[in-house]
Structure 1
Amino acid sequence: MPAVEMKYFDYSQMEVEYLSLADPVLGAAMTRLGRVERQIIPDPFAALIYAVIGQLVSAASANTVWSRMQERLGDITPENLSAVSADDIQGLGMIMKKAVTISGLSKDIFQGKVRLDDLRDLPDQEVIRRLTAIKGVGLWTAEMLLINCLERPDVVSWGDMAIRRGMEKLYGLQKLTRSEFEGFRDRYSPYGSVASIYLWKLSLL
């Protein structure tokens, strides 16, 4: 079966120690959990397709569709996916809106209308600006590409329900407010992405 190349988000003890000093509550949780690994997809196109699949569904559901896509369509490339209809993509287990986004995005990239190659050289906000200009790609999807592909160091997404749930569990909050979230995100900076990796883990406990 074809498989998209994966690796783990690269971080060191330095980020863990910084976050532990900046936020002792998070630090205690990090000590308790030990090192938490986060699988990422280095290829921007494959990572973007995975992020679209993951919009508003659980990680388990997204992984099921992702595995099915690789089994049935082969390598996750613009060429392969542009040759498949939106109906066939929907048949893998997603809503038509996502299938249309994936189909259109694949064709646009294959035809050279959209370029992802230079994203690595751009600052976070410019990456977000370019990605959210693509139909069907919103802020959360762009932020997931920043962390789950480009390995940007300071991404904590308000739009990610699991991250918010992780914060609520960590700090014993009934309902996280936006201002509380912003306060925690500021505290984690400039290593918010490592905090996000632990918050995702905490959300599952």
Structure 2
Amino acid sequence: MQTVMTKNFDYGEKEINYLKNVDTVLGAAMTQMGKVERIIIPDLFAALVHAIVGQLISAKAVQTIWARMQEKLGVITPQNIAVQTALEIQSCGITMKKATCILNIAQTIEQGLLDLQELYELSDAQVIQKLSSLQGIGPWTAEMMLINCMERPDVVSWGDMAIRRGMMKLYHLDTLTKQQFEEYRRVYSPYGSVASIYLWSISFR
């Protein structure tokens, strides 16, 4: 079985020191935790499929389904997925809605109607807009692509429940308003993605 290539999100002392200086509460947590690695998928199509699989389910369930997909369907490429049926994709343990969405995107790419490589030339907002125009993909999935594939440096997703939970735990909040979230996000900028990596970790501790 050929597995999808992965790597760690690339960041170092510069980002860590910046965040520690601008936010002492986050900084203290970062010091205590040490460097947190975030595994990402550099391939745009495989990462997009992975993000769709990950909608509204636990990280553990994603791992199981992802392994099963690679076992059953082979390499996660547009060519390979486009020739499957939605039923075959669904049988890996996802909903028919997600299976159809994945199949449609693979076929759209195969027909030359969508070039994911063009995303690299777009701003974060444009990537979100372009991906959200595809059926079954919303802002959260697009933001996960920005972090977990494209390694964009400044993404903190309001739509990600684990990130919000991490913020609430970190700052001892019972609730979190969009306004509070935006204030923290601005503090983390331009290294919001590294803050997100730590907030994810904090939310699961």
Cα separation, 1, equivalents of 2:109 and 2:150:
18
Alpha-carbon distance in 1 for matches of 2:175, 2:98: 29
Provide Cα deviations, 1:33-77, integer angstroms capped at 9, x if missing partner: 000000000000000000000011111111111110001111000
Displacement after TM superposition at 1:87 (Å):
1.1
TM-score normalized by the length of structure 2: 0.98
What is the rounded CA distance, in whole Å, between the counterparts of 2:59 and 2:159 in structure 1?
A: 15
Which amino acid in 1 is paired with 2:21? L
Q: Percent identity?
A: 57
SS at match of 1:141: helix
Task: Report whether the alignment pairs 1:139 with 2:103.
Answer: no
| Secondary structure of the structure 2 residue equivalent to 1:2 | coil
Aligned 1:62-101 pairs, distance under 5 A: 62-101=62-101
Q: TM-score, normalised by structure 1?
A: 0.98
Q: Alpha-carbon deviation of 1:123?
A: 1.1
- 1:18 Cα deviation (Å)? 0.6
Structure 1 unmatched runs, 5+:
none
What residue is the counterpart of 1:8 in the other structure? 8
Match of 1:160 in 2: 160
Q: Distance in 2 between matches of 1:92 and 1:2?
A: 17
Inter-partner Cα distance in structure 1 for 2:139 and 2:16 = 27
Q: Is 2:45 aligned against 1:51?
A: no
Structure 1 residue ranges (4+ consecutive) displaced by more than 6 angstroms after TM superposition: none
Give the Cα separation in 2 of the matches to 1:58 and 1:162.
10
Give the Cα–Cα distance (whole angstroms) in 1 for the partners of residues 30 and 121 of structure 2: 31
| Counterpart position of 1:196 | 196
Q: Paired residue for 1:36?
A: 36
For 1:3, what is the secondary structure of its paired residue? Answer: coil
Q: Counterpart of 2:161 in structure 1: which amino acid?
A: M
Residue deviations 1:71-103 (CA, integer Å, cap 9, x gap): 111100001111111111111111111111001
Partner of 1:94, secondary structure, is coil
Alpha-carbon distance, 1:113 to partner: 1.1
Number of equivalences: 205
Rounded to whole Å, the distance in 1 between the matches of 2:26 and 2:202 is: 10
Match of 1:121 in 2: 121
Query: CA separation in 2, counterparts of 1:66 and 1:111?
Result: 25
Give the C-alpha shift of residue 118 in structure 1: 1.6
* CA offsets 1:156-176 (integer angstroms, 9 cap, x no match): 000001101111110111121
